[in-house]
Structure 1
């Protein structure tokens, strides 16, 4: 199988802005204070969990680890799958439409220093659970609810 370093760009060149399935993976990362890491996304100017699109040839776990590092500068270990979230629709600022399928993992911080690149990540920081800002979409909100309820293996 030939790997493509930017699957979304590759597929969008063929279908334009039309509705399609896109697969994502990300993580709920906690620290020793049980705070949760959030990323202020450059495309939405809103908070969410770090993660991103799967590339051809990657597993969901590999995607989560890679995307978290790219967006935050942090290396994590995946501890377990929180859930798979499948019946969500999004319209992006550029007009692209997608039914998004997201794999959310619980991740433990291993190493690194927080870095926000100013484009994809405007800000990255840990929040106490009781002080979380609103999340940018229902998919992230549902993953958070499941994580806070200590549920694993969820599917929606």
Structure 2
């Protein structure tokens, strides 16, 4: 598996529009509150997850990103959806059509690791008390999760 795939691509294309694939997960506690990450790039909430590295499966990426961003080792339970209809503009000027594969995950164990600098805070939120979410794809996954509308795709 090649590390820093996006950095390698961006060295070649700069901020030009590209297509990127991401994987993440929805983790709910016993009160059906979902874990959200306050992201350092957008200074707002989102579901933990990140870009696939070259040669990595979506499931592997979800598990790796969860560990890096939350310190939690997770298992994938199901696939509630895929979103492909979104153009993300990043604060650094990068532009990408983001393909997001979202899983429902369960926590296996907490691992004491230094969290990624991408994580400012982690907190569980109820559907009626959500913070500002950084993009429409994550908003739709959260809405569809709480309404039971899955599998979901766009």
Which of 128, 131, 149 is equivalent to 1:130? 128
Structure 2-normalised TM-score? 0.93
SS at match of 1:28: strand
Tell me if the contact between 1:30 and 1:109 (Cα under 8 Å) persists in the aligned partners.
no
Structure 1-normalised TM-score? 0.92
Equivalent residue for 1:81?
79
Which of 54, 63, 70 is equivalent to 2:61? 63
Shift of 1:134: 2.1
- Once the two structures are superposed, what CA deviation does each residue of 1:11-54 show, in whole Å capped at 9, x if it has no partner? 11111110010100001111122211000001111000000000
Separation in structure 1 between the aligned mates of residue 29 and residue 112 of structure 2, nearest angstrom: 12
SS at match of 1:34: coil
SS at match of 1:145: helix
Separation in structure 1 between the aligned mates of residue 47 and residue 140 of structure 2, nearest angstrom: 12
Which of 19, 22, 40 is equivalent to 2:20? 22
**Number of aligned residue pairs:** 154
Tell me if the contact between 1:20 and 1:97 (Cα under 8 Å) persists in the aligned partners.
yes
Equivalent residue for 1:7?
5
Shift of 1:114: 8.2
SS at match of 1:58: coil
Tell me if the contact between 1:89 and 1:97 (Cα under 8 Å) persists in the aligned partners.
yes
Is 2:100 the counterpart of 1:102?
A: yes
- Once the two structures are overlaid, the 10-residue window that deviates more, 47-56 or 119-128, is 119-128
- Once the two structures are superposed, what CA deviation does each residue of 1:97-128 show, in whole Å capped at 9, x if it has no partner? 00000001111122116877472100011112
Tell me if the contact between 2:68 and 2:115 (Cα under 8 Å) persists in the aligned partners.
no
Which of 135, 139, 142 is equivalent to 2:140? 142
Which of 91, 94, 99 is equivalent to 1:93? 91
